[in-house]
Homo-oligomer: A and B are copies of this chain.
Amino acid sequence: MSIYDFSIAIDAMGGDNSPDKVIEGLSFYLREDDRIFFNIFGDEDLIKKSISRFKIQNNLYKIFHCSTYIQDKDSVRNSIKIGKDTSMWRAIDSVKKNESGLIISSGNTGALLVISKLILKMIDEIDKPALAGLWPNHKGTSIVLDLGANIEFSEKNYIDFSRIGAELYNVLFKKEKPNVGLLNVGSEEIKGHEELKNAFNALNKLKTSFNFNGYLEGNQIKDGDFDVIVTDGFSGNISLKTAEGSVNFINKEIKKIFSSSIYGKLCYLFSYFIFKSIKKNLDPRKYNGGIFLGLNAPVIKSHGGADSLAFYYSVKLGVKILKGNLIEKIKKSLNND
């Protein structure tokens, strides 16, 4: 028996400032927990330099040198063509070979999704993968899916993703029967697509391992009454990006006014510690890490532009998912309901 609880495959390339931010993120994590082993894929020289800089004990990782990597600008088609020698491909492959329990990458999202599907394959009962994200709300955190893995959506997808999302919530937040809702628009008479309405009716009748709480609207996402929010990938992606843009807008407007006068600047200085604590509370890095679900192993996408602390949070998320035995729970839930 290994002295490690789990092994995680790390695609150290791709995204901004890789592999430095990746390795530093791992070093943050290993300070808290040295029972995780990392299989690190990428340019060996660069990775070694990073490791000597951020000081990781050499019994906690193994480097797999890869001659190339998929860049953000590469098309999915091209990524598959250059595939097999890239850090992303080989990292995913190590999960397939059971050498790692999951893979984390901050590289090209589209390539990660397609190559993961190609190598790891879908869980038998599920026909599409979902990209799930963690969103802060007034009461804690909710899980929102799909954030953009699929554009076209069927009734079955809504139902599958409700189940998958509920299992993920259960694993991350230890709630037996999470509240699940379908994202919809307001007024009764123009409510939802046919597929969405059919899913609503089906979920109302199904015996499920979660509480189906019906529809919610976009302005209710942050209330915290729904633990799991299910939507199609198009609307989910637009909702995600709109939230991001709105928060940036408010931040910039507030900054503009505080910095537009001497009185404002004084107020800012006076309230410095308050702003610091607001920034800490709302730090988006805590919620870094989208999870591709529906495959035979978890795949975590760290934000390409995120830094080392954000990467650390995505590692933490990965460990929770492995400890909670998510994939087995999803498979059981699909067979039981």
Contact = CB atoms under 8 A, between A and B. Distances in A.
A151 B237 contact: no
Grouping DSSP codes into helix (H, G, I), strand (E, B) and loop, the A interface class, with mixed when no group exceeds half, is helix
B244 A218 contact: yes
A219 B258 CA distance: 24
Contacts of A82: none
Interface string A241-284: 11111111111111001100001100110110110011001100
A263 B277 CA distance: 12
A190 B149 contact: yes
Nearest to A280: B257
A186 interface: yes
A79 to B, nearest CB: 10
A185 B138 contact: no
A281 B257 contact: yes
A234 B221 CA distance: 16
Interface string A277-295: 1100110000000000000
A252 B254 CA distance: 14
Contacts of A277: 257
Contacts of A209: none
Contact of A219 (B248, B251, B273): B248
Nearest to A237: B185
A97 to B, nearest CB: 26
Nearest to A272: B267
A190 to B, nearest CB: 6
Given A267-B271, A277-B257, A278-B253, A243 B246 contact: yes
8 contacts: A151-B193, A183-B238, A185-B237, A190-B233, A218-B241, A235-B235, A235-B238, A253-B281
